[in-house]
Amino acid sequence: MPASSIVTIAGGVGAAKFLRGLAAARADAARGDVAVVNVADDFSLHGLRICPDLDTVSYTLAGLVNPQTGWGRADETWTTRNELERLGGQTWFGLGDKDLALHLYRTQRTADGAGLAQITREITASLDITMNIVPATEAPVETKVSVVGEGEISFQEYFVGRRHDVAVDAVRFSGAADARPAPGVLEAIGDATCVVVAPSNPIVSIGPVLAIPGIREALTERRDVVVAISPIVGGKALKGPADRMLTELGHESTASGVAELYAEFASALVVDTVDASQASDIERLGLECIVTDTIMSDVDVAAALATTTIETISNRGGA
How far apart are CB 249 and ligand FO1 at their closest, in Å? 17
User: What is the DSSP pairing of strand 226-229 with strand 268-272?
Assistant: parallel
Rounded CA gap, 194 and 170, in Å?
Answer: 32
How far apart are CB 53 and ligand FO1 at their closest, in Å? 5
Using CB under 6 A as the binding rule, the residues of this chain from 25 to 64 that contact ligand FO1 are 41, 52-53, 55-56
Using CB under 6 A as the binding rule, the residues of this chain from 209 to 248 that contact ligand FO1 are none
Instruction: Choose between 261 and 279: whose C-beta lies nearer to ligand FO1.
Output: 261
Using CB under 6 A as the binding rule, the residues of this chain from 132 to 161 that contact ligand FO1 are 156, 159-160
Using CB under 6 A as the binding rule, the residues of this chain from 159 to 188 that contact ligand FO1 are 159-160
- Judge contact between 255 and 282, C-beta under 8 A: yes
DSSP state of 289: E
Rounded CA gap, 180 and 218, in Å?
Answer: 13
How far apart are CB 52 and ligand FO1 at their closest, in Å? 4
Rounded CA gap, 125 and 133, in Å?
Answer: 10
**What stretches of the chain adopt beta strand conformation (E)?**
6-10, 34-37, 43-45, 48-50, 132-135, 142-147, 151-154, 168-174, 194-197, 226-229, 232-233, 236-237, 268-272, 288-292
Residue 82: its H or E element: helix 79-87
How far apart are CB 54 and ligand FO1 at their closest, in Å? 8
Choice from 6, 21, 26, 71 touching ligand FO1 (CB under 6 A): 71
Using CB under 6 A as the binding rule, the residues of this chain from 90 to 109 that contact ligand FO1 are 93-95, 99
How far apart are CB 95 and ligand FO1 at their closest, in Å? 6
Question: Residue 78, interface with ligand FO1 (CB under 6 A)?
Answer: no
- Which residue sits closest to ligand FO1, CB atoms considered? 12
Residues linked to residue 292 through DSSP beta bridges, in sequence order: 272
Contacts with ligand FO1, residue ranges (CB under 6 A): 11-13, 41, 52-53, 55-56, 71-72, 93-95, 99, 156, 159-160
